[in-house]
Structure 1
Amino acid sequence: MSKNRYFIQLAYDGSLYHGWQTQPNAIAVQELLDKAMSVVFRQPIETLGCGRTDAGVHAADFFAHFDIENLAETNVISSIASINALLPYQIAAKQIIPVHNDAHARFDATSRAYKYHIHFVKNPFKYNRSWLLKDRLDITLMNIAAAELLNYTDFSCFSKSNTQTFTNNCKIVKAVFEEEDNGLVFTIKADRFLRNMVRAIMGTLIQIGKGELNLEEFKAIIESKNRSKAGQSVPACGLYLVKVEYNYIK
């Protein structure tokens, strides 16, 4: 049988879902996508995502790969409207891209970028899409601390415990806060991220902004490689996966 591999690009509001990955006793984005695609293509479809987003986390840019047997490329690519018709409103398929048969949505990604949104004034239109924070923060100090992240590679202190990873090393190339519309947006980009890493980094940087930690203490936390020394993870509602890059996708 002839089998070809494709990437599907998605966006989703994670508020109602227990993350990306299919799991028992909870509704996940992957489960709904696989079911919709299996109906459209009339064969069992199992996707593999570019990563795992936790419950309540959103994605403006997400990729997964899947294999199709005995179906013309043009028919696969043109199926986006049919797939979207079967998906709930919170999940949108953007495009399907033919790739080589060894392409891997997770391992081939060269970089990922996240944004975390904070707002300071109650706004019903930001409910479940941004974190309402009443504390005022020293953004200058937070940016100084965020810049220090680029000087490190081992981020064990920001990793969820008991995860099955071969290394806790990541190369962060951007970490910056910007003021925006009565709020704050944190952008972070790296070659890879550990589970819960962005939310743990945010929780620790918030402590800097509140004056609860200084820069030397922040660096000592990173160097300790101890999760219990870092700040609490911030709520999932403000976190968005915004960009995933591959060398062979433009």
Structure 2
Amino acid sequence: MVRYFIELSYRGTAYHGWQTQANGISIQTTLEAALTQRLGRPIYVVGSGRTDSGVHAKQQFAHFEVEEPINQSESFIYSLNCILPEDIAIHRIFPVQANHHARFSAIYRYYQYYVSRQKDAFQNGLTYHFRPHLNHEIMNEACKMLRQYTDFQSFSKARANVNHFHCRIDFTYWERINDDDLTFHIQANRFLWGMVRTIVGTLLEIGQGRMNLEQFEQIILAKDRNAAGRAAPANGLYLVEVGYPAEVMEHRA
């Protein structure tokens, strides 16, 4: 068997997340259908992570296996993109070693969350229209506090099927783009189910002055999802980068 990585991006608005669902269309199912149609055999893909319903990806990776090497030409990728809907785009397909795994070989994931005070007809479904003024400086103080901890059970959905709630956050901060727009940045080795959106929702409470830093720290220490704020909507969240060791990205079989 020959294993290939796919680099792709997608607008998640019309999909019930990455993972195949019994009750809705997913990115995974749509991608598998296109590959199966083009290659003439059933194809199963494994993603680097499971983005939630409505979440977007500027960069996502997945892998699949076939018995014989495939054509990696631009025309092959173009033909796949013609099969796929307009809101999913394949950028690269390249061979990797048999032990390279889209999910387990990844060493970090980087997300951004976009907030805007102004309604924009061209950004509908792509940013969170949030009218209140926000103090991004105090929100960044809370971000510094986040980096002091590794257990984020308070920011994980209660039904998360995981062995532990520990994550290594590499960086997290808010960037003020202009008077109306803010972007949240966070990178970690792994993320829990719903973690980024719940962190954002809680930080928005701090930015409005409805929660102080001491209360925020108590939420982290509580290890209880009920202690944190509500999750921010999915439409403002983007997976923007997935990192792998250099040997994975050398494009060698």
Task: Tell me which interval the TM-score lies in, with the shorter structure as reference length.
Answer: over 0.9
Structure 1 residue 37: Cα displacement: 0.4
Tell me the alpha carbon deviations over residues 147-196 of structure 1, each in whole angstroms, 9 at most, x when there is no partner. 11111000000001121111110000111111124210000000000000
> For residues 238 and 77 of structure 1, what CA distance do their matches in structure 2 show?
34
Q: Percent identity at matched positions?
A: 43
Structure 1 residue 97: Cα displacement: 1.6
> 3-state DSSP class of the match of 1:211?
coil
Most deviating of 47-56 and 177-186: 177-186
> For residues 21 and 7 of structure 1, what CA distance do their matches in structure 2 show?
17
Residue 221 of structure 2 corresponds to 223
Tell me the alpha carbon deviations over residues 208-233 of structure 1, each in whole angstroms, 9 at most, x when there is no partner. 10111111111110011010000000
> 3-state DSSP class of the match of 1:66?
strand
Q: 1:85 aligns with which of 72, 82, 86?
A: 82
Residue 7 of structure 1 corresponds to 5
Matched, 1:249 2:249: yes
> 3-state DSSP class of the match of 2:13?
helix
Contact 1:113 1:244 (C-alpha < 8 Å) held by counterparts: yes
Structure 1 residue 43: Cα displacement: 1.1
> 3-state DSSP class of the match of 1:33?
helix
> For residues 206 and 150 of structure 2, what CA distance do their matches in structure 1 show?
20
Contact 1:111 1:246 (C-alpha < 8 Å) held by counterparts: yes
Residue 52 of structure 2 corresponds to 54
> 3-state DSSP class of the match of 2:52?
coil
Residue 162 of structure 2 corresponds to 165
Contact 1:77 1:97 (C-alpha < 8 Å) held by counterparts: no
Most deviating of 78-87 and 89-98: 78-87
Contact 1:77 1:95 (C-alpha < 8 Å) held by counterparts: no
Structure 1 residue 76: Cα displacement: 4.1
Residue 233 of structure 1 corresponds to 231
Q: 1:206 aligns with which of 204, 207, 213?
A: 204
Q: 2:63 aligns with which of 48, 62, 65?
A: 65
Residue 25 of structure 1 corresponds to 23
Residue 127 of structure 2 corresponds to 130
Structure 1 residue 126: Cα displacement: 1.3
Structure 1 residue 77: Cα displacement: 5.3
> For residues 77 and 176 of structure 1, what CA distance do their matches in structure 2 show?
39
Residue 109 of structure 1 corresponds to 106
> 3-state DSSP class of the match of 2:147?
helix
Contact 2:150 2:168 (C-alpha < 8 Å) held by counterparts: yes
Q: How many residues align?
A: 246
Structure 2 letter corresponding to 1:231: G
Consecutive unaligned residues of structure 2, counting only runs of 5 or more, are: none
Residue 14 of structure 2 corresponds to 16
> For residues 160 and 231 of structure 1, what CA distance do their matches in structure 2 show?
12
